Amino acid sequence: MSENCQLVSDAGVAKAGKTFTDLFLLGILSGAYIALSGAASTMAAHNLLANPDTVGLGRLVAGAIFPCGLILVAIAGAELFTGNTMMLLPLVQRRITAYAMLRNWGIVYVSNFISAFAIAWLLCLSGQLSLPPNGQLVKVTIAIAATKCHFTFLQAFLLGIFCNWLVCLAVWMAIAAKDLPGKVLVIFFPICVFVVAAFEHSVANMFFIPAGLLAVQFYPQVLETMTTSPAVLASLTWTNFFVANLLPVTLGNIIGGGVFVALAYGYIHRKPLP
């Protein structure tokens, strides 16, 4: 495992040295991969998620689809903010500067947001949310977004920690895997677990919450027939998106991936093997 620490640290050094253009374009691709996987997982599971008796099964179906996003990021190659939180490892090793790390995070975070938001907007514009005849997909899209905006700051923060702990474990193991099937396998299960457990991923939420907010604008008539609590629906605002969800989830993601994975294993394997 100490060899894997070296690989993760080397990857962080390489990320710190990329040009603005490369980071921005790779961040655009990454946000799109996560958003498209989110759209597919919601489509696959929406009827199950709409029924209180089958929510668990719906999350399992969604969890079987959503890992495709990180698989594309890891294998095709892209820059994802949540995975890049592990750049804390080369930072504490003094291999990169705080400026280089924060520069990477800022460029990648903004580019992830741009493409995830764009996919949400284009999805609504395409009319895809209205494809099922009963309008259930629109309702579930709005309900998912509203629920995420209804968390307290502490809830969102803790769910963000749990999520990126699993995401970065997936990335950590994928770096250690020696072949393509191995990388796919070790990514699939941790990501499936975080989806089933309904943990919070900042980049995924850059798609899910704008999709719900925009769906309200495109399909306002569905609000009258939704069974979601009025208090929860009232939480679905742009302010709550940024302040009540994205901010605490992002901070939690940094702790979950940067501290509980990168720094934890970096400390454990700080001495070279004999």
* CATH number of the domain enclosing 40: 1.20.1080.10
Place of tokens 């798609």: 207
Tell me the average pLDDT across 236-261: 98
In a domain, 85, yes or no: yes
Q: Can you point out the beta strands (E) in 81-209?
A: none
Cβ-based neighbour number of residue 14 at 10 Å = 11
Q: How many residues does the chain have?
A: 274
Nearest-angstrom CA–CA distance, 195 and 59: 7
Give whole-number Cα distances, 138 to 48, 208, 246, in Å.
Answer: 14, 12, 22
Domain enclosing residue 117, as ranges: 2-268
In a domain, 147, yes or no: yes
In a domain, 9, yes or no: yes
Torsion sign across C-alpha atoms 225, 227, 228, 231: positive
Which residues, including other chains, have CB under 8 Å from residue 61's CB and lie 6 or more apart? 41, 44, 45, 48
In a domain, 190, yes or no: yes
Share of the chain above pLDDT 70, in %: 98
Number of domains making up the chain: 1
User: Which candidate, 207, 193, 210, 202, places its Cα nearest to that of 161?
Assistant: 202
Given pLDDT bands bounded at 50, 70 and 90, which one contains residue 138? very high
Instruction: Report whether pLDDT(22) > 50.
Output: yes
Read off the pTM: 0.96
User: Which candidate, 63, 85, 86, 65, places its Cα nearest to that of 194?
Assistant: 63
Nearest-angstrom CA–CA distance, 50 and 53: 9
**Beta carbons of 8 and 89 less than 8 angstroms apart:** yes
Max Cα-Cα span within the chain: 67
**Beta carbons of 12 and 90 less than 8 angstroms apart:** yes
Given pLDDT bands bounded at 50, 70 and 90, which one contains residue 271? low
Least confident of 134-143, 237-246, 255-264: 134-143
Nearest-angstrom CA–CA distance, 214 and 226: 16
Tokens encoding 177: 């895997």
Per-residue model confidence (pLDDT) at position 273: 44
Per-residue model confidence (pLDDT) at position 247: 98
Phi-psi region of 52 (alpha: psi -120 to 50; beta: other; left: phi over 0): alpha
Q: Taking all residues of the chain, what is their mean pLDDT, rounded to a whole number?
A: 95
Per-residue model confidence (pLDDT) at position 8: 95
In a domain, 225, yes or no: yes
In a domain, 59, yes or no: yes
In a domain, 273, yes or no: no
User: Which candidate, 82, 126, 119, 125, places its Cα nearest to that of 104?
Assistant: 82
**Beta carbons of 133 and 218 less than 8 angstroms apart:** no
**Beta carbons of 142 and 236 less than 8 angstroms apart:** yes
Share of the chain above pLDDT 90, in %: 90
Tell me the average pLDDT across 50-57: 95
Per-residue model confidence (pLDDT) at position 272: 56
Instruction: Report whether pLDDT(199) > 70.
Output: yes
In a domain, 274, yes or no: no
Q: Can you point out the beta strands (E) in the chain?
A: none
Per-residue model confidence (pLDDT) at position 274: 42
